[in-house]
Structure 1
Amino acid sequence: MTPQAVVFDIGNVLIEWQPERFFDSVIGADRRRAMFATVDLHAMNDRVDSGETFRDVITETAQATPEWHDEIMLWHDRWLDMASPAIDHSVRLMAALQSRNIPVFSLTNFGIQTYDLAATRYPFLRQFDRDFISGHLGVIKPDAPIYAALEETSGLPPQALLFTDDRIDNINAAAQRGWQTHHFTGPQGWADRLVSAGLLTKDDAT
């Protein structure tokens, strides 16, 4: 069926999210590898995305590993430099869908405070028709309740949703529920999928 709403992940779909690349540029690849091997920084970030307070989680982690204290605090102090840049083609696709009155929802693992911070740089984060942000919901992808929350709130059947995400585990969880899905590996592939789904013309999708 033709999708009735399009669901966007944000990190690496609308905004690049590459913490390793950021730390490589600041402290060098060797030190970054050593730090990530010592401290599970992605697990730390999952706590933020699950609704814990951004500053508290980063500060607690930094204090628990004093040998990496200053570097870990960069996750807080320079977070916007990690969440950068916007993927402009994807942003245009979001706007093109909405210009055709196709609802666009977010479904994202994102902290409460970090989402507000990101929105100061990326105004399109305030332009979704509905937001499903893990920090506010208290559950992260690929756990089933976050998908169920979107279904329940939107009132749309699973097969009416077209969802894109860069992580295959998140895509698989949605597909198991009957959602239409697209594994995001770049904006052109996503543009082509939106055209093939009958949602955009080729001109719209540029």
Structure 2
Amino acid sequence: MSAELIVWDFDGVLNAEPEGAPFGWVSRLDADLGLSPRAFRAFLNRPGQAAQVLRGALSLQDELTRWLATQDTNVTSDALLAHWLRSEDRPDPQVIDWLDRSPQRAVIGTNNPAPRSQYIMENMGFSARVETIFASGPMGMAKPDAGFYGAIERWSGLAPNAILLIDDNRANVAAAASRGWQAFHFHTHTRDGLPVKLGITS
């Protein structure tokens, strides 16, 4: 059965993963904003914080405000968040072309807080490419939580086997498959097979 709805993961699929360590832009924070990269990495690595931010239990901007209050700086949380969002803006032109050419309905399904999901749709222009975005922060749940997939099923009104997830995370792919979804594990060695999966022939 061919899929009627494609759920596109964002980071690592539509948005290219950077070479090297994640958040590579943090190493340039001292030059860009006069902030300590080491201190900011310590902030990012606070136990449990990332998971709570991704599920909307903590506000990313509020946490940035609290952290900045501990630093000797005049940088605002608005400025730091804007810099963060711009620095993580790495659209993959080839994959976006496949999205644009695929005949199926399309949504984004991503583990991201509310500010980033808004940035993806408005600043990066994906509101013109997909019907909507399912983002973990506003939803209060993240892949591979069953509720994340269930919300998309209810919204679409489709049978699970009519939905295809394209994701670079193996656990997310496995969770989708366990619900009866079609799933494509996207990575360097499989990406060239995606157009065929989507029905793109030229």
TM-score, length-normalised on structure 1? 0.76
Letter of the aligned partner of 1:128 in structure 2?
Answer: V
Among the aligned pairs, what percent are the same residue? 26
Question: What is the distance in 1 between the residues matched to 2:63 and 2:126?
Answer: 27
Question: What is the distance in 2 between the residues matched to 1:144 and 1:154?
Answer: 16
Q: Which has the higher helix share?
A: 1
Structure 2 contact 108–133 (Cα < 8 Å) conserved: yes
CA RMSD of aligned residues (A): 3.1
Structure 1 contact 22–81 (Cα < 8 Å) conserved: no
Q: Is 2:95 the partner of 1:56?
A: no
Number of aligned residues: 193
Question: What is the distance in 2 between the residues matched to 1:42 and 1:15?
Answer: 26
Structure 2 contact 108–132 (Cα < 8 Å) conserved: yes
Partner of 1:21: 24
- For residues 114-152 of structure 1, what are the alpha-carbon distances to aligned partners after superposition, in whole Å with 9 as ceiling and x for unaligned? 222333431024431232222221111111100111111
Structure 2 contact 26–41 (Cα < 8 Å) conserved: no
Q: How does 1:1-206 map onto structure 2 within 5 Å?
A: 1-16=1-16, 18=18, 19-26=22-29, 36=41, 39-40=44-45, 43-51=48-56, 52-63=58-69, 66=70, 76-97=81-102, 100=103, 102-186=104-188, 189-195=190-196, 197=197, 199-201=199-201, 203=202
- For residues 4-32 of structure 1, what are the alpha-carbon distances to aligned partners after superposition, in whole Å with 9 as ceiling and x for unaligned? 2111011121123554321234459xx85
Question: What is the distance in 1 between the residues matched to 2:177 and 2:52?
Answer: 25
Letter of the aligned partner of 1:5 in structure 2?
Answer: L
- Structure 2 unmatched ranges of 5 or more: none
Structure 2 contact 43–67 (Cα < 8 Å) conserved: no
- Structure 1 unmatched ranges of 5 or more: none
Letter of the aligned partner of 2:23 in structure 1?
Answer: E
- For residues 44-86 of structure 1, what are the alpha-carbon distances to aligned partners after superposition, in whole Å with 9 as ceiling and x for unaligned? 34333322433112223455xx479899x68624112331211
TM-score, length-normalised on structure 2? 0.78
